[in-house]
Structure 1
Amino acid sequence: MIRTLRTALFALALPCLLVGIWWLASDSSTSVYAPPLRTILSRFDNVWTADRLSADVVPSLLRLAAGYGAAAVAGIALGVGIGTSRTARALCEPALEFLRAVPPPVLVPVIMLFAGIGSTMKIVVIASGCVWPVLLNTVAGVRAVDPVATETARSYGITGAARFRYLVLPSASPQIFAGLRQALSIGVILMVISEMFAASNGLGYAVVQFQRSFAIPEMWTGILVLGLLGVVLALLFGLVERRALAWYHGSRGARRKAGGGGA
């Protein structure tokens, strides 16, 4: 219990310090573009009502979930296929290096030509940016599978789906989750960017509309909502990751204890 409280205090210390600095530094501000934090917070309740949340936040989250989910499935499936085949790596690596170097926001006008300006376009934009961290980390994780474990599995006749389930996937899963974590932050960014183009709802659309109507405090509240959304998503992802990789973190902790005891 004490350890949990200590961890929570450390996690909240820096955000509270930054909010306090922002409050004090902006308290006497007379700038239209950088209003005091107390002014921004005073508009929060009036702006982000239940209707606004259902009209803008929920559609954004649904698009993020669809694009991120599609990228996760495609990235893991392709990564396993490329990572386990030397021929596939040789064929795909040049194309992958070229495609991942293209910034996804640049593709928004192109995607709009094929997918229109609706939610499909936004989902495709999110997926096109999120897939690369998942794909490349999956390839690296599959390639890093212990050769001794691979030979042992082959000796015992463990092949096909059983080999993937009991050897490849567990060995590569820490690297896969690292890619999924990176993709989540990219997905939030692309969610906002895609909603700034020909959109009628969403968080990105709301922030741009506030900016165009010179409702600057309201615009800042939208930015705060995006920040809070990112924190919540990161915490939820951390919970899922710790549960899915409990065996991995447990083995690392045991190795650290063994190393400390030996010292």
Structure 2
Amino acid sequence: MTRVLTRIGLALLLPVVLFAVWWFATANSQNFYVPPLREILSTFPEVWTGQRLRTDVLPSLIRLAAGYTVAVLAGVALGVLVGGSRRVRAVLEPVLEFFRAIPPPVLVPVIMLFAGIGDTMKVVVIAAGCVWPILLNTVEGVRAVDGVLADTCRSYGITGEARLRHLVLRSASPQIAAGMRQALSIGIILMVISEMFAASNGLGFTIVQFQRGFAIPDMWSGILLLGLLGLALSVLFRLVESWALRWYHGQRRVQRGRS
């Protein structure tokens, strides 16, 4: 219990310090664009009411979940294909490197031409950016499958779906999880960017509307909410990852104990 409380305290130490610095640094601020933190906090509950959470925050989270899910499915499937075959990797790697080098925000105007300005465009933009860390980590995870375990599966006639599920995906799952964790932060950024283009709701749209209307404390409250959502999603992901990879973390603890 003491260890858990210590970890929580260390995790909260830097945010608390930064929050305190922000509070005291802006306490007497007369800058129109940098209002005092106390003013932002007092504005927060007035702006982000239950109705606004339903009309702006919930649609953003749904788009993020849809785009992220598409990226995970596509990235893992293609990563297993590329990582498991040298020939496929030789053919696809130049094309993948070309598309990986293109920043996803640049594709927003192009995607708008084909997908319109609705939710489909925003989901595609999020998926297009999130897929790369998942794909590349999956490829490396599949390539790093233990050769002895692969030979053992071959000797026992374990092939097809059973080999994929029990050997390939299980061995690559720590790196896949690392790619998914990176993709989550990218997805949040692209969620906001995509909502700044021809949108009628969402967090990105609302923040831009506040900025255009010179409602600066409201704008800062939206940025603060965005940071809190990112933190909450990160903590949730870590909890799910710890549960799903408990066998891996247990194995690491045993190895550290022996060394």
- Give the structure 2 partner of residue 72 of structure 1: 72
Give the aligned residue type for 2:34. Answer: A
- Give the structure 2 partner of residue 96 of structure 1: 96
- Give the structure 1 partner of residue 110 of structure 2: 110
**2:214 is aligned with 1:211:** no
Give the aligned residue type for 1:130. Answer: C
Give CA deviations for 1:139-176 in whole Å, capped at 9, x if unaligned.
00000001111111101111111111111011000000
SS of aligned partner of 2:94: helix
**Aligned-residue offset at 1:76:** 0.2
TM-score normalised according to structure 1 size: 0.98
Identity of aligned residues (%): 67
Give CA deviations for 1:161-208 in whole Å, capped at 9, x if unaligned.
111111101100000000000000000000000000000000000000
- Give the structure 2 partner of residue 255 of structure 1: 255
Paired with 1:154 and 1:98, the residues of 2 have a C-alpha distance of 35
Unaligned 5+ segments in structure 2 are none
Give CA deviations for 1:14-61 in whole Å, capped at 9, x if unaligned.
101000000000001100000110111110111000000001000000
**2:188 is aligned with 1:188:** yes
- Give the structure 2 partner of residue 84 of structure 1: 84
Paired with 1:194 and 1:172, the residues of 2 have a C-alpha distance of 31
Residues matched between the structures, number: 259
Give CA deviations for 1:207-251 in whole Å, capped at 9, x if unaligned.
000000000000000000000000000000000100010000000
- Give the structure 1 partner of residue 7 of structure 2: 7
Give the aligned residue type for 2:144. Answer: A
TM-score normalised according to structure 2 size: 0.99
Give 1:10-159 correspondences, 5 Å limit.
10-159=10-159
**2:167 is aligned with 1:167:** yes
Give the aligned residue type for 2:137. Answer: N
Paired with 1:46 and 1:165, the residues of 2 have a C-alpha distance of 50
Paired with 2:30 and 2:66, the residues of 1 have a C-alpha distance of 42
Paired with 1:169 and 1:126, the residues of 2 have a C-alpha distance of 24
Paired with 1:169 and 1:44, the residues of 2 have a C-alpha distance of 44
**Aligned-residue offset at 1:112:** 0.2
Structure 1 residue runs of 4+, over 6 Å off?
none
**2:244 is aligned with 1:224:** no
Unaligned 5+ segments in structure 1 are none
